[in-house]
Amino acid sequence: MSSVIRTCANCGTKNRIPAGRLTQNARCGSCKATLGPVAEPLEVDPETFDGIIREATVPVLADFWASWCGPCRMAAPEVAALAREMAGKAVVVKVDTEAYPELGNRYRVQSIPNFIVFSNGNVAMQRAGVAPRAEMRRWIEAAQTAGVR
């Protein structure tokens, strides 16, 4: 079972959250404060990426990007806003294609930014290029209505 480390906003303790529970409330192991559903894009390595895709009970939007990419930097605030909007309904991850080129190669990412929506561990849609937040939200909603486990 894969997990993600989340820091408690109340006390600063790092908490290990199972990948399949990122859209649910959790409790800080130290101060017992509620950690709400993940509401920010998660920067992931290949192991964490695979765990989230495999265990997610909601659609996952993956943003394949690189720090040198101007359009990727333009898309980043929209991706972050989408993660806040869809908290509890979807998970948003960011894959740095410079650090983890094998993930980009696995999904034939040839230009960035490149967005892939996963549903039930499978690719539901893929698109390259900057997209408005409303369009990205539609991709996730389409994956939701297609039936997520």
Please compute the mean of the pLDDT values over residues 108-135 and round it to a whole number: 96
Domain 38-145 falls in which CATH fold? Answer: Glutaredoxin (3.40.30)
Please tell me the distance from the alpha carbon of residue 7 to that of residue 123, in angstroms, as a whole number: 30
Q: Are strands 42-43 and 91-96 parallel, antiparallel or unpaired?
A: parallel
> By the 8 A CB rule, do 13 and 28 touch?
yes
Residue 109 has pLDDT above 70, yes or no: yes
Reported in sequence order, the residue ranges of 33-146 that DSSP labels E, i.e. its strands, are 34-35, 42-43, 60-65, 91-96, 114-119, 122-128
Please compute the mean of the pLDDT values over residues 49-65 and round it to a whole number: 96
Catalytic residues: 69, 72
Greatest distance between any 2 Cα atoms in the chain: 45
Residue 143: its H or E element = helix 133-145
Question: Residue ranges of the domains in the chain?
Answer: 38-145
Residue 148 has pLDDT above 90, yes or no: no
Provide the pLDDT for residue 147: 61
Please compute the mean of the pLDDT values over residues 113-130 and round it to a whole number: 96
Residue with more model confidence, 146 or 133: 133
Using DSSP's 3-state secondary structure scheme, residue 128 falls into strand
Please tell me the distance from the alpha carbon of residue 16 to that of residue 64, in angstroms, as a whole number: 24
Please compute the mean of the pLDDT values over residues 76-92 and round it to a whole number: 97
Contacts of 63 (CB under 8 A, 6+ apart): 41, 72, 75, 79, 92, 93, 94, 95, 113, 114, 115
Out of 74-78, 120-124, 135-139, 143-147, least confident range: 143-147
